[in-house]
Structure 1
Amino acid sequence: MAKLLYAFSCSVDGFIAGPGGDMSWLTPYLGPDPLVEDLIPRIGALLVGRRTFGGDDPHRGGEGEGKAFGGGWEGPQFVLTHHAPATPVPDVTFFGDLTEAVTAAKAAAGEKYVNVLGADVARQCLEAGVLDEVLALPVPVLLGSGVRMLDRPGPAVELEPLAPHWYRVLG
């Protein structure tokens, strides 16, 4: 059965996007990464937040603009939103309910990962107890502000190390 994985790049101070969702800070750091290259074929579906789906693109102006992983991955995407667009988007299904979105994404992913994209969706998955693993890819930059990789009050969540940067969610 598919597992939900929150895989993200973040600044060393814990931001996945700059102020206003700006992703241009990440552009100079995109490039070959064996960990990412190994992960991509193991992803069967994406579970994406609406802000991430319609947000800034670190591949802007390049061949990979508007494509998952800069064009390195293709497949079904499930967007969690209360405001689905009127015009259908190929290979994208919109859901207003987290449980329905997770169920559909896991069914589409089969034995592969559902990669969670977006801090708010990751928070919701964590709070619902459906997030299985975390892959944190730190980038050598300090942003100082922006969208935190996870912004939630409450108790700490224990993680079990599986590999460098890769963790199983315990709590």
Structure 2
Amino acid sequence: MSKLLYSVAMSADAFIAGPGGDMSWMAAHLEPNPPMDDLPGKVGALLVGNRTYRGDDPNKGTDEEGAFSGAWQGPQFVLTHDIPDTAEPGVEFHDDLHRAVAAARAAAGGKYVSILGADVARQCLRAGLVDEVLTIVLPVLLGDGVRLFEQPGGGSVRLEQVSVSHVPGATNIWYRVLN
């Protein structure tokens, strides 16, 4: 069965996007990261939040536009309460978390389902659906924006560190979620 992976680049103060969901800050910090270069080949489907799907891409208008800096192509499953009337090639819209996850897992063919978006990741974590978390920590402090994980009123998710790798300009930390 395909595992759910919350993979995300973030600032050293744990923001994955700046104020208003701005992702442009990231472009200046995306350098080659050999330990992560093979990740797109391990992903079979994306589970994407609506804001992320419609949001800023730090590589918009370049050859690197899209998931994993344009290195990944495949099915996307967008979790949204506002399902569009017209279909988009390669994209399915769902208004139910469990149905979206099931569809993404089926499409992933045993590869990872990569979760993109803080809100959909939070929902998956709260539901106990996430198997692994990969954080790529970039050397910048944003001070405000969208946090990696935020749970109003508290609530923790236990993680077990699987690996850590350092490259110039980033630290990659891979965790297993302990349920």
TM over 0.5: yes
Question: C-alpha displacement at 1:86, in angstroms?
Answer: 2.0
Q: For residue 36 of structure 1, what is the aligned residue in structure 2? A: 36
1:99-138 paired onto structure 2 within 5 Å = 99-138=98-137
Q: For residue 25 of structure 1, what is the aligned residue in structure 2? A: 25
Between the aligned partners of 1:53 and 1:36, the Cα distance in structure 2 is 22
Amino acid of the structure 1 residue aligned with 2:156: A
Amino acid of the structure 1 residue aligned with 2:57: D
Q: How many residues align?
A: 170
Q: For residue 7 of structure 1, what is the aligned residue in structure 2? A: 7
1:12-161 paired onto structure 2 within 5 Å = 12-65=12-65, 67-153=66-152, 154-161=154-161
Question: C-alpha displacement at 1:64, in angstroms?
Answer: 2.5
Between the aligned partners of 2:43 and 2:28, the Cα distance in structure 1 is 24
Query: Cα deviations across residues 110-164 of structure 1 (Å, max 9, x unaligned)?
Result: 2110000000000000011111100010000000000001111333211111111
* Secondary structure at the counterpart of residue 99 of structure 1: helix
Q: For residue 167 of structure 1, what is the aligned residue in structure 2? A: 175
- The TM-score normalised by the length of structure 2 is 0.92
Amino acid of the structure 2 residue aligned with 1:5: L
Query: Cα deviations across residues 50-89 of structure 1 (Å, max 9, x unaligned)?
Result: 0000000110232223x22222000000000010222211
Identity %: 59
* Secondary structure at the counterpart of residue 85 of structure 2: coil
CA RMSD of aligned residues (A): 1.0
Query: Cα deviations across residues 89-122 of structure 1 (Å, max 9, x unaligned)?
Result: 1100000000000000001112110000000000
Between the aligned partners of 2:14 and 2:174, the Cα distance in structure 1 is 16
Between the aligned partners of 2:83 and 2:129, the Cα distance in structure 1 is 23
Structure 1, unaligned runs of 5 or more: none
Structure 2, unaligned runs of 5 or more: 165-172
* Secondary structure at the counterpart of residue 7 of structure 2: strand
Between the aligned partners of 1:70 and 1:13, the Cα distance in structure 2 is 22
- The TM-score normalised by the length of structure 1 is 0.96
Between the aligned partners of 1:87 and 1:146, the Cα distance in structure 2 is 31
Task: Give structure 1 regions of 4+ aligned residues with deviation exceeding 3 angstroms.
Answer: none
* Secondary structure at the counterpart of residue 78 of structure 1: strand
Question: C-alpha displacement at 1:48, in angstroms?
Answer: 0.2
